[in-house]
């Protein structure tokens, strides 16, 4: 009777250890997956921060260029109005 209970206890203990090993392996896989996902999220956050900074820099450059274009446009307009080449004249009345 003792041999039987001893065998049964060992078998039960072996099954319990196998179950615990399986749970531990599953937990390890879940932990690795969570770690991988966290790292991926952090990488995406850094990428988003970089892109956001780039968008801000491009917006700033765009505003600067718009302002420069306005100044140049006004300058060209002033040059054209000061130049006789671009003045509108009535050539028929001058010829007569």
- Please tell me which residue, 84 or 64, carries the higher pLDDT value: 64
Q: pTM here? A: 0.53
Domain annotation covers residue 28: yes
Answer whether 80's CB lies under 8 Å from 86's CB: yes
In sign, the C-alpha dihedral spanning 72, 73, 78, 82 is positive
Total count of domains within the chain: 1
Q: Which domain holds residue 49?
A: 1-81
Domain annotation covers residue 17: yes
Domain annotation covers residue 93: no
Domain annotation covers residue 94: no
Place of tokens 């392996």: 25
Domain annotation covers residue 7: yes
Reported as a single tens digit per residue, the pLDDT across 52-70 is 999 999 999 999 999 999 9
Rounded to whole angstroms, the Cα distance separating 37 from 95 reads 85
């Amino acid at each position: 009777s003792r041999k039987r209970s001893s065998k049964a206890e060992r078998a039960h203990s072996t099954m319990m250890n196998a179950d615990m090993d399986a749970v531990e392996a599953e937990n390890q896989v879940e932990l690795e997956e969570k770690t991988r996902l966290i790292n991926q999220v952090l990488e995406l956050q850094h990428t988003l921060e970089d892109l956001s900074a780039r968008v801000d820099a491009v917006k700033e450059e765009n505003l600067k260029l718009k302002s420069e274009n306005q100044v140049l446009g006004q300058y060209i307009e002033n040059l054209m109005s000061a130049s006789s080449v671009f003045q509108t004249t009535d050539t028929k009345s001058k010829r007569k």
